[in-house]
């Protein structure tokens, strides 16, 4: 990766003197200076989130959160983060990311079974994530190579077609390996670093804050993912992604190899999906066949756009909101006026998906920068400053 980054710097810097302004690279300096803040804030959030969400008095009572959902939100958050690299920054709408999510989930599961049954050891979470991610990267390389030959809606449809092929492959012809309709159940996950049971509680204060080792592991991966994504996006390499989004032709004319950057963006995005998919297997000890279906690709699209495509944290927020609706709001029986028993709407939980759909349409229609973009606008109005560039959220 570092080779390519340097290469990109060399390629990107030379023509920029003539064509682009210096501004972009001055921004780069500024953004790296903010990197510890961004990563630190993420780490802090990850540290206290399960406590606030699932155990803190009053707050968790209102939110109705639980530990497992907190873990799941971070996992989908990683997926959304990677997806946004492609949609929000490079401007490519893939409708086939279920292939990388489900594919890596299956790869992780199948590998853990292989290790337990044929190699005679219980694969730890780290190696499982490595294997799943490698699978996703290779797959993304292949599918990206084919899909990126076409732009616009054709790209969306090609990715969709390839992902559906994966779905039908694992549903019937490969059902001997994948378990077909029933999903993959033979997941065997060993201890973290060979020592810590994933479901066991962390020691002392950490246990109160974060709960289990599983969450700690997922949390660590989240922080690493945010750091990596932030570094990529604010490097000259990531600048090229944005340039492609803004004007592909002009980027080409400047002398950059657009095709290669698009492919790399696709592969990196697939890698994030791979990390998330493998974690999903570890978290649930199960891979549903549904994880490859195209509606799953649709879900990640909704998450990213709802939260705010083109910002670092927006899609993660979107993932949280989506999962909150799917798991908590769907369980609400009657909508009441807060703190009273007056029922406004019976069977409110049924409407969760409809509500999300309506919310999504509204966001696409009126707030293309998503909920995160709304927050930024609000903050700008209060402070009077222009902060869009800080998070790379200009769109």
Q: Which residues bind other proteins (CB under 8 A)?
A: 87, 91, 93, 95, 146, 149-150, 152-154, 156-158, 160-162, 164-165, 168-169, 171-173, 175, 294-295, 298, 301-302, 305, 350-351, 353-354, 356-358, 360-361, 364-365, 368
Least gap, CB of 222 to other proteins (angstroms): 26
Least gap, CB of 281 to other proteins (angstroms): 24
Nearer to other proteins, 27 or 180 (CB): 180
Nearer to other proteins, 14 or 364 (CB): 364
d(CA 180, CA 161): 19
Least gap, CB of 326 to other proteins (angstroms): 13
Three-state DSSP class for 379? helix
d(CA 245, CA 228): 20
d(CA 32, CA 103): 34
Least gap, CB of 99 to other proteins (angstroms): 12
Nearer to other proteins, 189 or 304 (CB): 304
Beta partners for 345?
335
Least gap, CB of 359 to other proteins (angstroms): 9
Cβ 233 vs Cβ 309: under 8 Å: no
Nearer to other proteins, 81 or 160 (CB): 160
Q: Quick one: DSSP state of residue 202? A: P
Helix 98-114, helix 125-147: angle, nearest 10: 140
Burial 360-376 (b: 16+ CB within 10 A, else e): beebeeebebbbbbebb
Nearer to other proteins, 19 or 361 (CB): 361
Least gap, CB of 148 to other proteins (angstroms): 11
Nearer to other proteins, 270 or 370 (CB): 370
Contacts of residues 317-322 at CB distance under 8 Å and 24 or more positions apart, as own/partner, are: 317/371, 317/372, 318/80, 318/370, 318/371, 318/372, 319/73, 319/76, 319/77, 319/79, 319/80, 320/73, 320/76, 320/77, 321/371, 322/76, 322/356
Backbone angles phi, psi at 343, to 5 degrees: -85, 125
Least gap, CB of 173 to other proteins (angstroms): 5
Cβ 167 vs Cβ 287: under 8 Å: no
Least gap, CB of 246 to other proteins (angstroms): 12
d(CA 142, CA 67): 37
Nearer to other proteins, 88 or 183 (CB): 88
Nearer to other proteins, 69 or 306 (CB): 306
């Amino acid at each position: 990766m570092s080779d390519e980054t340097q290469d990109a710097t060399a390629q990107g810097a030379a023509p920029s003197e003539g064509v682009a302004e210096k501004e972009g690279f001055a921004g780069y300096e500024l953004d790296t200076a903010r990197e510890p803040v961004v990563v630190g804030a993420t780490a802090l959030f990850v540290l206290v989130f399960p406590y606030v969400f699932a155990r803190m008095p009053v707050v968790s009572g209102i939110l109705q959160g639980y530990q497992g959902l907190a873990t799941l939100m971070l996992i989908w958050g990683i997926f959304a983060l990677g997806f946004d690299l492609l949609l929000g920054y490079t401007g490519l709408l893939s409708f086939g990311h279920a292939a990388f999510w489900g594919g890596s989930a299956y790869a992780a599961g199948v590998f853990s079974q292989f290790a337990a049954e044929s190699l005679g050891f219980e694969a730890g979470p780290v190696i499982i994530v490595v294997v799943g991610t490698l699978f996703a990267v290779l797959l993304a390389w292949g599918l990206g190579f084919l899909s990126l030959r076409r732009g616009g809606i054709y790209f969306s449809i090609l990715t969709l077609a390839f992902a559906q092929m994966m779905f039908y492959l694992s549903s019937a012809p490969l059902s001997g390996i994948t378990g077909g309709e029933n999903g993959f159940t033979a997941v065997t996950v060993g201890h973290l670093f060979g020592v810590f049971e994933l479901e066991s509680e962390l020691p002392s204060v950490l246990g109160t804050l974060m709960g289990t080792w599983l969450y700690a592991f997922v949390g660590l991966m989240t922080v690493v993912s945010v750091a990596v994504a932030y570094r990529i996006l604010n490097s000259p390499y990531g600048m090229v992604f944005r340039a492609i989004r803004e004007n592909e032709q002009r980027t080409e004319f400047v002398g950059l190899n657009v095709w290669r950057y698009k492919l790399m963006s696709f592969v990196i995005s697939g890698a994030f999906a791979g990390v998330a998919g493998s974690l999903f297997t570890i978290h649930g000890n199960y891979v549903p066949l549904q994880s490859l279906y195209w509606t799953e690709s649709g879900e990640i699209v909704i998450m990213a756009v709802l939260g705010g495509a083109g910002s670092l944290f927006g899609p993660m927020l979107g993932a949280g909101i989506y999962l909150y609706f799917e798991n908590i709001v769907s369980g609400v029986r009657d909508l009441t006026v807060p703190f009273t028993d007056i029922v406004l709407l019976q069977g409110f939980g049924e409407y969760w998906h409809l509500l999300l759909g309506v919310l999504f349409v509204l966001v696409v229609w009126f707030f293309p920068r998503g909920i995160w973009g709304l927050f930024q606008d609000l903050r700008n109005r209060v402070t009077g400053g222009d902060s869009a560039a800080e998070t790379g959220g200009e769109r």
